[in-house]
Every structure is written in C-alpha cells, then in structure tokens.
Amino acid sequence: MTERPSNQQATKPRKNRKADDTPKPCPECGCPDVCLDSSSIAEATWIDCSNCDFHYQQKCCEESMLTRWNKLDRSAMPAFGEAE
C-alpha cells in the first residue's frame, strides 16, 4: 500500500455551481434563507428554512435534492415579510 503525499488532496475540489443551482426560497413562507445539509451516516439530504422551520428531507445526493427543492410548487408562496 502506498501513502499519498501530504500535499495532495484526498478528494477532488467541488465544481463551481451554476447560478440556477442556488436554492429557491422556502415554499411555505418565501424566506430566501434556507440551508442545504446532508449526512452520509443517515444517507439523507435535507433543506431547512431558518424562518418557519419548514423541513424537506429525502434519501438522495445534494445535487438531486437541490433540483427537487427548486421544482417544488411555489404558486401559493407569500412574499417574504408580508403581514398575514
């Protein structure tokens, strides 16, 4: 077994994301502040809204989750900060 030189990275660097690869606002409250996270142990990826605690989780990679999140129906989404 050969050792990897210490100056070599263990993983490949992430490719730059395209502009359309950014998460759209929360479909429940319209808040643009959402967080994408994943766990290899849980074998799941999720997106949480920091405003209304909306949680969307699926068993897929982050790229697939982002695509699925951005395809969610937002037709009834309120404008963020709008009083109800």
At position 7, the amino acid (one-letter code) is N
With cut-offs at 50, 70 and 90, classify the pLDDT of residue 20.
low
Residue 40: HSE in the Cβ half-sphere, 13 Å Cα cutoff: 0
In this predicted structure, what is the pLDDT of residue 82?
66
In this predicted structure, what is the pLDDT of residue 15?
53
pTM above 0.95, yes or no: no
pLDDT tens-place string over residues 28-62: 999 999 999 999 998 999 999 999 989 999 999 99
User: What gap in Å lies between CA 60 and CA 10, rounded to an integer?
Assistant: 23
